[in-house]
Amino acid sequence: MVDEQGRVSGQQFSEKPVLRLARKDILGIQEMSASEISLILDTAESFKEVSTREIKKVPTLRGKTVINLFYEASTRTRTSFEIAAKRLSADTINISTSTSSVAKGETLIDTAKNLEAMNPDCIIIRHSASGAPHLLARLMRVPVINAGDGAHEHPTQALLDLFTVREKKGKLAGLNVAIVGDILHSRVARSNIYGFTKMGAEVHLAGPRTMMPAGVEKLGVRWHSNLREVVPQADVIMMLRIQLERQGSGFFPTLREYSRFFGLNLEVLKEAKPEVLIMHPGPMNRGVEISPEVADGPFSVILDQVTNGVAVRMALLYLLVGGERETDRSSV
Amino acid sequence: MVDEQGRVSGQQFSEKPVLRLARKDILGIQEMSASEISLILDTAESFKEVSTREIKKVPTLRGKTVINLFYEASTRTRTSFEIAAKRLSADTINISTSTSSVAKGETLIDTAKNLEAMNPDCIIIRHSASGAPHLLARLMRVPVINAGDGAHEHPTQALLDLFTVREKKGKLAGLNVAIVGDILHSRVARSNIYGFTKMGAEVHLAGPRTMMPAGVEKLGVRWHSNLREVVPQADVIMMLRIQLERQGSGFFPTLREYSRFFGLNLEVLKEAKPEVLIMHPGPMNRGVEISPEVADGPFSVILDQVTNGVAVRMALLYLLVGGERETDRSSV
Amino acid sequence: MVDEQGRVSGQQFSEKPVLRLARKDILGIQEMSASEISLILDTAESFKEVSTREIKKVPTLRGKTVINLFYEASTRTRTSFEIAAKRLSADTINISTSTSSVAKGETLIDTAKNLEAMNPDCIIIRHSASGAPHLLARLMRVPVINAGDGAHEHPTQALLDLFTVREKKGKLAGLNVAIVGDILHSRVARSNIYGFTKMGAEVHLAGPRTMMPAGVEKLGVRWHSNLREVVPQADVIMMLRIQLERQGSGFFPTLREYSRFFGLNLEVLKEAKPEVLIMHPGPMNRGVEISPEVADGPFSVILDQVTNGVAVRMALLYLLVGGERETDRSSV
Q: What is the pLDDT of residues A5-25, one digit of tens each?
A: 666 654 444 444 556 788 999
DSSP β-bridge partners for residue B2: B8
Average pLDDT over residues C121-136: 96
Helices and strands, number each (H, E), in chain A: 12, 9
Number of Cβ within 10 Å of residue B234's Cβ equals: 23
Q: Any residues with CB less than 8 A from the CB of C303 and at least 6 apart, and which?
A: A113, A114, A116, A117
| Contact of A321 with A67, CB cutoff 8 Å | no
Average pLDDT over residues C288-294: 97
- B73/C100 touch (CB, cutoff 8 Å), yes or no: yes
Number of Cβ within 10 Å of residue A253's Cβ equals: 12
Say if C332 is an interface residue toward chain B (CB within 8 Å): yes
Which residue in A1, A75, A86, A306 has the most chain B C-beta atoms within 10 A of its own C-beta, making it the best mutation to test that interface? A75
- A331/C54 touch (CB, cutoff 8 Å), yes or no: yes
Lowest-confidence region among A151-155, C15-19, C132-136: C15-19
Q: How far apart are CA A162 and CA A157, in angstroms?
A: 9
Burial class (CB within 10 angstroms; exposed 0-12, middle 13-18, buried 19+) of B174: exposed
Average pLDDT over residues C283-299: 96
State the pLDDT at residue B329: 34
Of C95, C106, C324, nearest to B79 by CB-CB distance is C95
Does an H or E element contain A193, and which? helix A187-198
| Contact of C319 with C19, CB cutoff 8 Å | yes
State the pLDDT at residue B7: 66
State the pLDDT at residue B19: 60
Q: Which residue on chain A is closest to C301 by alpha carbon?
A: A117
Is pLDDT above 90 for A106?
A: no
DSSP β-bridge partners for residue A123: A67, A144
Q: How far apart are CA A310 and CA B67, in angstroms?
A: 15
Say if B52 is an interface residue toward chain C (CB within 8 Å): yes
**What share of chain A in percent tops pLDDT 70?**
89
Encoded amino acid at B322, one letter? G
Say if A284 is an interface residue toward chain B (CB within 8 Å): yes
State the pLDDT at residue C329: 34
Across chain B, mean pLDDT equals 90
Q: Report chain A residues whose CB lies below 8 A from the CB of C83.
A: 65, 91, 93, 118, 120
Please confirm, yes or no, whether B77 is among the known catalytic residues: yes
Across chain C, mean pLDDT equals 90
How far, rounded to the nearest angstrom, does the alpha carbon of residue B185 sit from its chain's CA centroid? Answer: 16
DSSP β-bridge partners for residue A121: none
Average pLDDT over residues A80-103: 84
Q: Report chain A residues whose CB lies below 8 A from the CB of C70.
A: 99
pLDDT digits (tens, 9 = 90+) for B246-305: 777 778 788 888 999 999 999 999 999 999 999 999 999 999 999 999 999 999 999 999
3-state secondary structure of B181: coil
What is this model's ipTM?
Answer: 0.92
Burial class (CB within 10 angstroms; exposed 0-12, middle 13-18, buried 19+) of B327: exposed
Least Cα distance to C1 among C309, C311, C303, C304 occurs for: C311
Say if B117 is an interface residue toward chain A (CB within 8 Å): yes
- Could you please report the per-residue DSSP string of C111-158? HHHHHHHT--SEEEEEESSTTHHHHHHHH-SS-EEEEEETTTB-HHHH
Is pLDDT above 50 for B322?
A: yes
Please confirm, yes or no, whether B197 is among the known catalytic residues: no
CB pairs < 8 Å spanning A and C:
96
Average pLDDT over residues A130-148: 96
pLDDT digits (tens, 9 = 90+) for C81-99: 999 999 999 999 999 875 4
Average pLDDT over residues B216-244: 94
State the pLDDT at residue C295: 98
Lowest-confidence region among A105-114, A312-321, B190-199, B273-282: A105-114
Q: Which residue has the higher pLDDT, B22 or C90?
A: C90
Is pLDDT above 50 for B332?
A: no
- B99/A73 touch (CB, cutoff 8 Å), yes or no: yes
State the pLDDT at residue A68: 97
State the pLDDT at residue B6: 66
Q: How far apart are CA C54 and CA A64, in angstroms?
A: 8
Say if A98 is an interface residue toward chain B (CB within 8 Å): yes
- A95/C80 touch (CB, cutoff 8 Å), yes or no: no
Is pLDDT above 70 for C324?
A: no
Please confirm, yes or no, whether A126 is among the known catalytic residues: yes
Say if A282 is an interface residue toward chain B (CB within 8 Å): yes
**pLDDT-based confidence at residue A213 (cuts at 50, 70, 90):** very high
Average pLDDT over residues C119-143: 96
Lowest-confidence region among A256-270, C121-135, C275-289, C315-329: C315-329
pLDDT digits (tens, 9 = 90+) for C19-42: 678 899 999 999 999 999 999 999
Is pLDDT above 60 for B328?
A: no
DSSP β-bridge partners for residue A126: A70
pLDDT digits (tens, 9 = 90+) for A292-326: 999 999 999 999 999 999 999 999 999 999 864 43
**pLDDT-based confidence at residue A151 (cuts at 50, 70, 90):** very high
Average pLDDT over residues A189-207: 98
Is pLDDT above 70 for A91?
A: yes
Least Cα distance to C272 among C237, C225, C226, C221 occurs for: C237
- C118/B83 touch (CB, cutoff 8 Å), yes or no: yes
Average pLDDT over residues A278-296: 96
State the pLDDT at residue B250: 77
pLDDT digits (tens, 9 = 90+) for C169-227: 999 999 999 999 999 999 999 999 999 999 999 999 999 999 999 888 898 999 999 99
Is pLDDT above 90 for C16?
A: no
State the pLDDT at residue A324: 47
- C91/B87 touch (CB, cutoff 8 Å), yes or no: yes
Of B101, B324, B328, nearest to A75 by CB-CB distance is B101
> Among all residues of C, which ones are annotated catalytic?
76-77, 104, 126, 154
Is pLDDT above 80 for A268?
A: yes
Say if A87 is an interface residue toward chain B (CB within 8 Å): yes
State the pLDDT at residue B325: 40
State the pLDDT at residue C253: 80
**pLDDT-based confidence at residue B175 (cuts at 50, 70, 90):** very high
Average pLDDT over residues A251-276: 93
State the pLDDT at residue B107: 85
Task: Catalytic residue, from A43, A77, A111, A164: name it.
Answer: A77
State the pLDDT at residue A326: 37
| Contact of B121 with B90, CB cutoff 8 Å | yes
Say if C93 is an interface residue toward chain A (CB within 8 Å): no
CA angle, corner C112, sides to C110 and C116, nearest 5?
115
Q: Report chain B residues whose CB lies below 8 A from the CB of A57.
A: 62-63, 91
* Torsion sign (Cα): B16, B20, B22, B28: negative
Q: Any residues with CB less than 8 A from the CB of A83 and at least 6 apart, and which?
A: A310, B65, B91, B93, B118, B120
